[in-house]
Amino acid sequence: MGNRLEGKVAIVTGGGSGIGEAVCKKFAQEGAKVIVAGFPEDPVEEVAQEIQEEGGTATPYTGDLSVLANAKSCVQLAVKQYGKLDILVNNAGTFPETNMLTDFTEEAFDYLLKNNIRSAFAMSKAALPELQKTKGNIVSAGSESGALGLAQNAPYGGTKGFMHAFAKGLAAEQAQKGVRSNIVAPGPIDTGWTHKETGPMDSQMEQMVTKGTLMGRRGTPEEVANVYLFLASDEASYVTGAIFPVDGGTLIAKGPAGDQAAESMKAQPDGKLKLKHSKESHTSIRSQDK
């Protein structure tokens, strides 16, 4: 256990699976009290319980966070349970479909807008009054695709481009209220999304995204959580409006650069967190979430 977030209270949206689970567990290990927030079907209760079993402090919240009333009750839970809110991590997101735009369904497009954009809007709006009191900060999930676009998933990249500009806009306006806002922009991460068995990518896309990194591999959820930790902590006190790539060099890779990566870079680090839900992403559209 460290103390880089000692005394801090954090909400992590999409905290039940993938990168969100790692962020919750990392923050709790560093002393934060964590609200693990996600859809009712997500393993948020399990993650909160696993944190408690490791000696950390966490409470689950379930609800569709794109609904402003739910976002408000999630923030109220943090305040009721732990007395304040210091950190909001806007990590919730969805990846329902890969398709050329001519075939991209309207349903998947609307689903992306709701979960990738509206949830960040609702949660930030609900959390800001509390964050202003604590001089806290927001760290949101962007993506390398928010800068570069993503073939066969142009709408998804578009939602992440929105997040980059949204987070910068918040940084610009909230500095006068003492609140920082930054972005973590992952490349392909080892969650349910980037495996053909658990997400909409086919094997060709899977290969393309990993070869397109300088390191020839997916990043681990923990490697992403490490950067969330830095940005959320007081160590990043002079960092706002920044976009931090955690993408194994995807932004500067040309062609299948990963083929040339050193073996040492191609090997995923073991990490220290006990992650159990990395691949439990829901990538299809669930009717109750519409």
Ligand X SMILES: NC(=O)c1ccc[n+]([C@@H]2O[C@H](COP(=O)([O-])OP(=O)(O)OC[C@H]3O[C@@H](n4cnc5c(N)ncnc54)[C@H](O)[C@@H]3O)[C@@H](O)[C@H]2O)c1
Residues that bind ligand X (CB under 6 A): 13-14, 16-20, 38-39, 42, 64-66, 91-94, 115, 119, 141, 143, 186, 188-189, 191-194, 281-282
User: Which CB, 21 or 86, lies closer to ligand X?
Assistant: 21
Contact 208, 236 (CB under 8 A): no
Cα 121 from Cα 206, distance rounded (Å)? 30
**Cα(79)–Cα(10) distance, rounded to whole angstroms?**
10
CA distance 31 to 35: 13
Minimal distance, residue 289 CB to ligand X, in Å: 7
**Smallest separation (angstroms) from ligand X to the CB of 142:** 7
Kindly tell me which of 29 and 90 has the beta carbon lying closer to ligand X: 90
User: Strand 57-62 to strand 87-90: parallel, antiparallel, or no bridges (unpaired)?
Assistant: unpaired
Cβ at position 178, least distance to ligand X in Å: 26
Q: Confirm if 2 and 24 have CB atoms less than 8 A apart.
A: no
Measured from the CB atom, the residue of 59 and 143 that comes closer to ligand X is: 143
From the CB of 8, what's the least distance to ligand X, in Å? 21
Whole-number Å distance between alpha carbons of 18 and 189: 9
Sign of CA dihedral 238, 242, 246, 251: negative
Q: Which conformational region is residue 216 in: left (phi greater than 0), alpha (psi within -120 to 50 degrees), or beta?
A: left
Alpha helices in the chain (DSSP H): 18-29, 44-53, 68-82, 106-112, 119-134, 144-148, 154-174, 203-211, 221-232, 263-266
Instruction: Report, as residue numbers or ranges, the catalytic residues.
Output: 156
**Least Cβ distance, residue 285 to ligand X (angstroms):** 11
Euclidean distance between CA atoms 249 and 202, whole angstroms: 22
Residue 110 gets the label, from left (phi > 0), alpha (psi -120 to 50) or beta, of alpha
